[in-house]
Amino acid sequence: MNKSYKEYIITAEPFNAEILSSILWELNIDGINEEVNCVKVFARDENVTVEAIENELSHLKENKLLRKYSVQENFIVEKNWNEEWEKSREVVHVSDKIVIKPTFKDYEAKLNEIVLTLDPKMSFGTGDHQTTKICLIFIEKYLKPGMKVLDAGSGTAILGIASAKLRAAKVIAFDIDDWCYDNGIENTKLNNVEDIVEIRKCELKNITENNFDLIIANIQKNILLELAKGFKERIKPDGILILSGLLEMDREAIEQKYASFGFREIDFLKMDEWIGIVLKN
């Protein structure tokens, strides 16, 4: 018997699917489809309700990122969301050097290109989101061969894999999600970096290693605020911290929190409404 999902169709003015998605992932949802004029959210959790979604959207309205919104609830029978989602995946050129391709697309690397092959399934970090691109651009800029790297909230492990291909000596990539753990292991094998990138299912408090040269975290603002102290305890003196998953309205709170632990901003990048910050310990 097929399981029932709740489907929520969300429209907003102005419509920005990526900003809506970033807020909605704060809820315990199972998936999101970004359509031309709406976002469809799928959830089994009974705590995901019209009211819960509207509460998240109200924060965007308060910050003047949208003027109005509507949420429609439907009950549907489970589909193969991966199959539906795969139809829209393409090869992504992040920079002159970094290219991301899904397993089901063919691509021949040009001279000096690093190709990251992903089977992203439903994990975050497919390469076509601005925050992933921002992190990859910063990794290319700041990672030096031989560095010890921590990829926090790793999703598909794309950032850890990129670090390995840019010659990091050791990468620990962790996430709390079972799907991300399995997908991360699969992707490290696809890219032949499983001897460099170690995938763990855990929280930051479970990472006993320290003295990381580089820490990367592409996570929502509230979690980044909570993790500031933990990052400080695990980064080496003069270490580099790359943060994204942030909207421009998040910048001040993040900078203030991390400054209280002795971090200073050394770089900043904005793509559309999304930002990334590079801090030095």
**Res 258 pLDDT > 60:** yes
Residue from 158, 157, 149, 190 nearest 174 by CA:
157
CATH code of the region 4-79: 3.30.70.120
CATH number of 129-280: 3.40.50.150
Q: Which of 236, 242, 129, 223 is nearest to 175 (CA)?
A: 223
**Which pairs from 221-230 meet CB under 8 Å and 24+ separation?**
221/245, 221/246, 221/247, 221/250, 221/253, 221/254, 222/26, 223/153, 224/254, 225/253, 225/254, 225/257, 227/152, 228/257, 228/258, 228/260, 228/261, 228/263, 229/261, 230/204, 230/205
CA distance 178 to 76: 24
Reported as a single tens digit per residue, the pLDDT across 102-133 is 888 889 989 999 999 987 665 555 667 889 99
Averaged pLDDT of the chain: 90
Highest-scoring range by mean pLDDT, 12-26, 92-106, 114-128, 255-269: 255-269
Lowest mean pLDDT among 26-35, 212-221, 253-262, 269-278: 26-35
- Choose the weakest-confidence range: 20-34, 110-124, 129-143, 237-251: 110-124
pLDDT digits (tens, 9 = 90+) for 46-60: 899 999 999 999 999
Most confident listed range (7-11, 31-35, 230-234): 230-234
Structure token pair of residue 176: 């709390």
**Looking at residue 204, what is its pLDDT?**
97
* pLDDT for the residue 36: 78
Is pLDDT of 87 > 70? no
Element (H, E) at 239: strand 235-247
Query: Where do the domains of the chain lie?
Result: 4-79, 129-280
